[in-house]
């Protein structure tokens, strides 16, 4: 089974049917039309109407969008539970099935689903969506279906939700969740695999509330940067007679994040983040992944350049993207960038919090995610960033939070700043001098802190992990009158900038961007992923990225000393086996968050 081909590789129910493809489509000024009326267009789902792959390329400003799909359901498929899943629809969405209103959704980036068992009939069924903009005066064309739609089939009794987490210190896998419509004497069979090898199969008496701990055989396979060891889990729910009620595939990883002496550590080992920004934009389809090959292409470009991670900003990633990052051992920052909300508006802030809640519930299992960042370039008061920090920390106590990327710093785990300059001395001062937002003079910073005492001052910022969440070198192509840099100039600045950041004691950097967009030309590749740099410069850029930071060098030296001590102990104590374990971080306690 190729999990990467499923819409949710981290939660696969094999019996499913994709509803992507050709749908009837119409645009209307009215929010009330006959659901059976002829529609004027055909659209290819899941592409936004204004994109080329939608088959329309239409502007839909200020209108209601209507989608209609007819599909057949067999008598055999009706025996059980059928779930209708939407990975993402931009705008306020109302869903109708066979003329009945199933409900609505107002989140553009979070998934939503309905149990449609009681609304389906044998034979032909009609699914209709009505979509309108949540903000009529902004992002007018950004409405419509933009991610997968599919049906899942299970029995009447099925696994309703599941939370899986690996405990590094206990060598256990924890499973929590809920079984819907459980019957007496049901069994739950759980199999654990690693690298294709079955490690165990345990059978439990099924309970309505799932609370199971699996002891994992030694040796543990750790998930580390560049080495994405995953433990695959197969769960079979069986009835009293032994018949299968539900089957779910998921996975987990033994990976622990901590801060050790102001360094980010994975499984106790300091790691320097060498990330590149990916805005999740594709030719002809905007934010929609048209096939898994697109994801593999972008990730292969990232690895080719010597980066060990990705900064995802501008759109929430496709779960298949995160799955591939999990497998490759890439370090991911998910930057929500406010998700188009005006966070200074109380209602918008509440909406953003609710949407982030849904996204974290969906994406929590991905070990590649190491940092959540809810806001970017925010220069308002403390309420939005502190409320977002507190909420995300409650949802996920195991990852780091950068409350505001490049803006005012209030309550946060990481001091986050962004620097863009072709002047090395200015760049150096911007990196080394602690300020809230862009570099300003000490007098201006003092004035700012007096006017806004809630901001973190220099002493506090200097004691925090520094994260350069965006830096750039002027475009490789001419843009808006900016002179074109030659390759050698670009490489010269890139090497100096990255070396400076590594020597500054920072936890990492993000180069912006992996590829060009319609508005920015800082990419290392053009929008179509064509190489802009020569092969020689690519190799030198890769070498610059792979250069060890000061903290990594110190750790490797310490590890060599530890290995030497272990060798001597083995020689002196032949009857004992000395097993190397990664150093334990200061903040490494795994806490089990509540099931949402």
CATH of the domain at 414: 3.20.20.80
592 band by pLDDT with thresholds 50, 70 and 90: very low
Residue in 280, 335, 274 with CA at minimum distance from that of residue 308? 274
Structurally, the chain folds into a number of domains equal to 3
Mean pLDDT, residues 418-444 taken together? 92
Q: Which range marks the domain in which residue 167 is found? A: 158-252
User: Is 575 inside any structural domain?
Assistant: no
pLDDT at 593 exceeding the cut of 50 = no
Q: Is residue 586 part of a domain?
A: no
Instruction: Say whether both 425 and 525 belong to one domain.
Output: yes
pLDDT at 479: 53
* Predicted confidence (pLDDT) per residue in 240-275, tens digit: 999 999 999 999 999 999 999 899 999 999 999 999
- Pick the last residue of a domain from 231, 252, 273: 252
Which residue did the predictor score with more confidence, 136 or 451?
Answer: 451
Count of other CB atoms within 10 angstroms of residue 176:
18
CB–CB of 77/51 below 8 Å? no
Q: Which of 80, 54, 76 is nearest to 67 (CA)?
A: 54
DSSP 202: E
- Please report, for residues 98, 127, 287, 328, the alpha-carbon distance to residue 116 in angstroms, rounded to integers and kept in the order given: 11, 11, 28, 36
* Banded pLDDT at 322 (limits 50, 70, 90): very high
> What long-range pairs does 584-588 form, CB within 8 A, spacing at least 24?
584/169, 584/268, 585/256, 585/258, 585/259, 585/260, 585/265, 585/268, 586/258, 586/259, 586/260, 586/261, 587/258, 587/259, 587/260, 588/168, 588/169, 588/256, 588/258, 588/268
Residue 152 covered by a domain: no
Q: What is the pLDDT of residue 555?
A: 75
Q: What is the DSSP secondary structure assignment for residue 118, as one 8-state letter?
A: G
580 in any annotated domain? no
Contact in structure between 436 and 475 (CB atoms under 8 Å):
no
Q: Is the pLDDT of residue 137 over 50?
A: no
Q: Give the pLDDT confidence score for residue 178 in this predicted structure.
A: 98
CB count within 10 Å of CB 81 equals: 20
Q: Give the HSE-up count for residue 69: Cα atoms under 13 Å, Cβ half-sphere.
A: 22
Closest CA to 373 of 275, 254, 452, 271: 275
Reduce the secondary structure of 306-364 to three states and give it as a string.
CCCEEEEECCCCCHHHHHHHHHHCCEEEEECHHHHCCCCCHHHHHHHHHHHHHHHHHHC
Confidence of residue 483 (pLDDT cuts 50, 70, 90): low
Over the stretch 272-317, which tens digit does the pLDDT of each residue have? 999 999 999 999 999 999 999 999 999 999 999 999 999 999 888 8
Check residue 5 and give its pLDDT: 86
- For residues 248 and 291, membership in a common domain is answered with no
Nearest to 272 by CA among 299, 304, 298, 307: 307
210 and 289 together in one domain: no
**Structure-token pair, residue 193:** 């695999």
The whole-number average pLDDT for the span 491-496 is 95
What is the domain-level CATH number for residue 237? 2.60.40.10
Least confident piece of the model among 201-205, 244-248, 470-474: 470-474
Mean pLDDT for 113-138 is 90
Position 76 in a domain = yes
- End of a domain among 93, 122, 147? 147
pLDDT at 481 over 80: no
Asked if residue 576 is part of any domain, the answer here is no
Predicted pLDDT at 191:
98
Q: Is the pLDDT of residue 138 over 70?
A: no
Kindly state whether residues 486 and 529 are assigned to the same domain: yes
Residues 167 and 278 in one domain: no
Q: What is the mean pLDDT of residues 392-401?
A: 97
* pLDDT tens per residue, range 325-356: 999 999 999 999 878 899 999 999 999 999 99
pLDDT tier for residue 1 given thresholds of 50, 70 and 90: low
Provide the pLDDT for residue 397. 96
Q: Do both 244 and 308 map to the same domain?
A: no
Is pLDDT at 478 greater than 90 in this prediction?
A: no
Using a 10 angstrom Cβ sphere, with 0-12 exposed, 13-18 middle and 19 or more buried, the burial of residue 53 is: middle
Q: What is the reported pLDDT for 558?
A: 73
Any residues with CB less than 8 A from the CB of 107 and at least 6 apart, and which?
351, 354, 355, 358
Which phi and psi (to 5°) does residue 353 adopt?
-60, -45
Give the span between the Cα atoms of 92 and 340, in whole angstroms.
14
As a whole number of angstroms, the distance between CA 184 and CA 292 comes to: 42
Lowest mean pLDDT among 203-207, 232-236, 476-480: 476-480
> Do 410 and 456 share a domain, yes or no?
yes
User: How far apart (Å, rounded) are the C-alpha atoms in residues 586 and 342?
Assistant: 37
At 30 the pLDDT is 84
Is residue 561 in some structural domain?
no
pLDDT at 595 over 60: no
Instruction: Report the pLDDT value the prediction gives residue 576, as an integer from 0 to 100.
Output: 42
**117 and 226 part of one domain:** no
Q: In this structure, what token pair is assigned to residue 275?
A: 């990330």
Instruction: Label residue 584 by pLDDT band (50, 70, 90).
Output: very low
Residue 590: its pLDDT value, please? 30
Residue 5 lies in a domain: no
Residue 567: pLDDT band by 50, 70, 90 thresholds?
A: confident
Please tell me whether residues 300 and 426 are part of one structural domain. yes
The alpha carbon torsion through 220, 224, 229, 232 (nearest 10 deg) reads 80
Stretch (H or E) spanning 275? strand 273-278
Torsion of CA 129, 130, 135, 140, to 10 degrees: 80
Smallest CA-to-CA distance from 246 within 363, 178, 158, 162 is with 158
| The pLDDT of residue 574 | 52
Task: Tell me which H or E stretch contains 370.
Answer: strand 369-373
| In a shared domain, residues 210 and 142 | no
Long-range contacts of 211-215 (CB under 8 A, 24+ apart): 211/175, 211/176, 212/174, 212/175, 212/176, 212/188, 213/172, 213/173, 213/174, 213/175, 214/172, 214/173, 214/174, 214/175, 214/190, 215/171, 215/172
Find the CATH number of the domain harbouring 84. 2.60.120.260
Per-residue pLDDT at 549 exceeds 50: yes
Report the pLDDT value the prediction gives residue 336, as an integer from 0 to 100. Answer: 94
Packed helices 487-503 and 535-546: angle between N→C axes, nearest 10 degrees: 10
Q: Is the pLDDT of residue 409 over 90?
A: yes
Residue with the larger pLDDT of the pair 568 and 48? 48
Secondary structure (3-state) at 563: helix
Q: Which two tokens stand for residue 181?
A: 């419509």
Q: Which residues contact 143 (CB under 8 A, 6 or more apart)?
A: 48, 60, 65, 90, 91, 131, 132, 133
Mean pLDDT value of segment 395-412? 97
End residue of a domain, out of 112, 147, 182: 147
560-585 CB burial, b ≥16 within 10 A, e <16: eeeeeeeeeeeeeeeeeeeeeebeeb
Decide which of 582 and 393 is more confident.
393
Mean pLDDT score across all residues of the chain:
91
Residue closest to 19 by CA, chosen among 210, 176, 178, 153: 153
Mean pLDDT, range 171-193, rounded to an integer: 97
Question: Are 431 and 319 within one domain?
Answer: yes
Largest interatomic CA distance in the chain: 85
pLDDT digits (tens, 9 = 90+) for 28-39: 988 888 888 899
One domain, residues 224 and 287: no
Distance CA 160, CA 152 (A): 12
């Amino acid at each position: 089974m190729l999990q990467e081909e499923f819409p949710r590789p981290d939660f696969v129910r094999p019996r499913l049917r994709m509803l992507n493809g050709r749908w009837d489509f119409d645009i209307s000024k009215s929010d009330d039309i006959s659901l059976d009326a002829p529609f004027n267009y055909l659209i290819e789902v899941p592409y936004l109407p204004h994109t080329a792959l939608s088959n329309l390329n239409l502007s839909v400003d200020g209108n209601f969008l209507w989608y209609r799909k007819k599909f057949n359901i067999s008598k055999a498929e009706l025996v059980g539970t059928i779930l209708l899943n939407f990975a993402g629809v931009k705008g306020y969405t109302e869903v109708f099935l066979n003329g009945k209103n199933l409900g609505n959704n107002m989140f553009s980036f979070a998934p939503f689903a309905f149990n449609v068992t009681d609304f389906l009939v044998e034979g032909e069924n009609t699914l209709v969506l009505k979509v309108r903009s949540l903000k009529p005066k902004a992002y007018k064309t950004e409405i419509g279906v933009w991610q997968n739609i599919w049906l899942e089939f299970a029995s009447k009794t099925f696994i309703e939700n599941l939370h899986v987490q690996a405990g590094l210190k206990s060598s256990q896998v924890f499973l929590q969740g809920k079984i819907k419509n459980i019957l007496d004497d049901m069994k739950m069979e759980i199999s654990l695999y690693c690298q294709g090898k079955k490690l165990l199969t345990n059978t439990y008496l099924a309970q309505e509330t799932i609370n199971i701990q699996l002891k994992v055989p030694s040796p543990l396979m750790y998930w580390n940067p560049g080495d994405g060891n995953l433990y695959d889990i197969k769960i079979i729910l069986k009835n009293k007679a032994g018949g299968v009620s539900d089957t779910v595939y998921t996975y987990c990883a033994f990976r622990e994040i901590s801060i050790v002496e102001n360094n980010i550590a994975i499984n106790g080992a300091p790691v320097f983040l060498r990330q590149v920004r990916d805005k999740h934009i594709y030719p002809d389809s905007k934010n929609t992944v048209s096939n898994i090959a697109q994801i593999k292409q972008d990730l292969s470009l990232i690895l080719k350049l010597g980066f060990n991670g990705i900064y995802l900003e501008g759109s929430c990633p496709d779960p298949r993207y995160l799955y591939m990052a999990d497998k490759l051992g890439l370090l991911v920052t998910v930057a929500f960038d406010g998700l188009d909300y005006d966070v200074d508006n109380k209602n918008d802030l509440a909406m953003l919090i609710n949407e982030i809640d849904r996204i974290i519930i969906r994406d929590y299992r991905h070990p590649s995610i190491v940092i959540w960042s809810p806001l970017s370039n925010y220069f308002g008061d403390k309420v939005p960033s502190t409320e977002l920090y507190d909420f995300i920390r409650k949802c996920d106590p195991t990852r780091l939070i950068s409350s505001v990327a490049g803006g005012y710093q209030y309550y946060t785990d990481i001091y986050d700043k962004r620097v863009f300059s072709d002047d090395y001395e200015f760049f150096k001062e911007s990196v080394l001098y602690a300020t809230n937002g862009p570099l300003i003079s000490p007098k201006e910073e003092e004035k700012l802190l007096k006017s806004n005492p809630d901001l973190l001052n220099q002493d506090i910022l200097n004691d925090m992990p520094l994260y350069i969440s965006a830096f750039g070198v002027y475009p490789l192509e001419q843009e808006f009158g900016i002179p074109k840099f030659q390759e050698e100039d670009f490489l010269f600045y890139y090497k100096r900038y990255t070396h400076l950041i590594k020597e500054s004691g920072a936890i990492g950097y993000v180069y912006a961007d992996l590829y060009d967009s319609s508005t920015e030309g800082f990419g290392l590749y053009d929008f179509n992923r064509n190489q802009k740099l020569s092969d020689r410069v690519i190799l030198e850029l890769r070498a610059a990225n792979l250069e060890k930071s000061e903290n990594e060098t110190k750790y490797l030296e310490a590890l060599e000393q530890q290995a030497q001590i272990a060798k001597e102990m083995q020689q002196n104590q032949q009857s004992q086996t000395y097993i190397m374990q990664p150093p334990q971080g200061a903040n490494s306690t795994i806490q089990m968050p509540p099931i949402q």
